[in-house]
Amino acid sequence: MSGFLLTGTAPTRARFSFEVFPARSGAAALALGHAVQHLAGADPDFISVTYGANGSNREASLDLLRYLRDHTDALPLAHLTTVGESREVVRETIHAVMDAGIHDFLALRGDPPRGLDEGDPSIAGSLSSLELVELVAEARAERPRMTSVGRTAVAVYPNGHPLSRSRTEDIEWLLAKQEAGAQLGITQLFFRSEEYLDFVADARSAGLRIPVLPGLMPVSTSAQLRKVASLAGRPAPVELEREMEESGGFAPELGVEYAVELARELLAGGAPSIHLYTFNRHEQVLAVLRELNLLA
């Protein structure tokens, strides 16, 4: 593997990575294993594994990370969240992941569990993502040198974090995470290339040095499109929404087409790589990569 995450330098050809989440049933686990083999076979820079709020799927996440490590050639990247967790529990989780042979992390504060809001005392006292980046660095320093490898990635919000008051605040927070040891940014979902390109340009002007990977998801259904719009904090493109509805709400080819055009604009604008949210399916994201001529 000579991918972008490992080298830290711009590749000669655009690269890519994937995100998956732990299966919630035995049948889903079988399907996920099948998808992961296809995803890993595409030679991504890494495959990241999500982690539920308040440690809700801690063991399932760790099992999936171990599966990637033991049964594929893909580099596993572990999500970490702090919401609802004490500092010591988070530290123990970091060490458990490192003990499993995984040393690359995506440091997130995370969303409150269902039924709780930001005002709940158990949520308000959670470590911030900045504090988590610092804690990962501390945990690495506590390990023998040979195990203290790996990178720390952080989330980037081209359209603003839900709790942020301004783009300036978002950029200042990102710069603080860079200074704390973050080496890679991965964006939340968005629909238009200028949302990523303009944010990165502003961040670079303010002093950002780390690479920022745009996160994309080729949606298959109208429901997924609405979900992405909610996460992006922006309305879905009207034309895509209309065509999805006219196709009966299920049109994977439309999602692929839109993602391909968006990725082309991003790569032409200087994005070093693309990060694909897979929804635990391989067909659509691999179709995007084929259209972009990024598969070997």
Confidence band for 163, pLDDT divided at 50, 70 and 90: confident
Which residues, at least 6 apart from 151, have a Cβ–Cβ distance to it below 8 Å? 5, 104, 105, 183, 184
How far is C-alpha 241 from the chain's CA centre? 24
For residue 246, which of 218, 217, 216, 225 has the smallest C-alpha distance? 225
250: amino acid identity, one letter = F
Section 186-194 average pLDDT:
96
Task: Kindly write down the DSSP assignment for every residue of 162-217, as one continuous string.
Answer: TT-S-HHHHHHHHHHHHHHT--EEEEPP-S-HHHHHHHHHHHHHHT--S-EEPEE-
Q: Which of 102, 112, 99, 44 is nearest to 77 (CA)?
A: 102
Alpha helix ranges (H) inside 100-166: 121-124, 129-141
* Sign of CA pseudo-dihedral 249, 253, 256, 260: negative
Q: What is the pLDDT of residues 56-67, one digit of tens each?
A: 577 899 999 999
Helix (H) or strand (E) holding 16: strand 15-20
How buried is residue 233: exposed, middle or buried, by Cβ count under 10 Å (0-12/13-18/19+)? middle
- The 3-state DSSP class for residue 277 equals strand
Structure tokens at 154: 């952080």
Mean pLDDT of the chain, nearest integer: 89
pLDDT score recorded for residue 150: 87
SS3 (DSSP) at 52: coil
pLDDT of residue 172: 97
CA–CA separation, 108 and 111 (whole Å): 9
Residue 6 has pLDDT above 70, yes or no: no
Maximal C-alpha separation, the chain: 58
Contact 39, 74 (CB under 8 A): yes
Give the confidence band of 8 by pLDDT, cuts at 50, 70, 90: low
pLDDT at residue 2, as a whole number:
43
DSSP calls for 78-105:
EEEE-TT--HHHHHHHHHHHHHTT---E
pLDDT at residue 1 tops 70: no
Question: Helix (H) and strand (E) counts for the chain?
Answer: 12, 9
Q: For the segment 103-125, what is each residue's pLDDT rounded down to a tens digit?
A: 999 999 876 555 555 555 556 56
Identify the pLDDT of residue 53. Answer: 53
Backbone angles phi, psi at 206, to 5 degrees: -85, -5
- Mean local confidence (pLDDT), 177-206: 97
Q: Which residues of 32-70 are buried (b: 16+ CB within 10 A; e: fewer)?
A: beebbeebbebbbbbbbbbbbbbbebbebbbbbbbbbee
Q: What is the pLDDT averaged over residues 219-230?
A: 93
Question: So what's the pLDDT on residue 152?
Answer: 96
Is the domain covering 13-218+274-282 a CATH 1.20.120.80 domain?
no
pLDDT digits (tens, 9 = 90+) for 19-35: 999 998 888 999 999 99
What are the tokens at 126? 């959670």
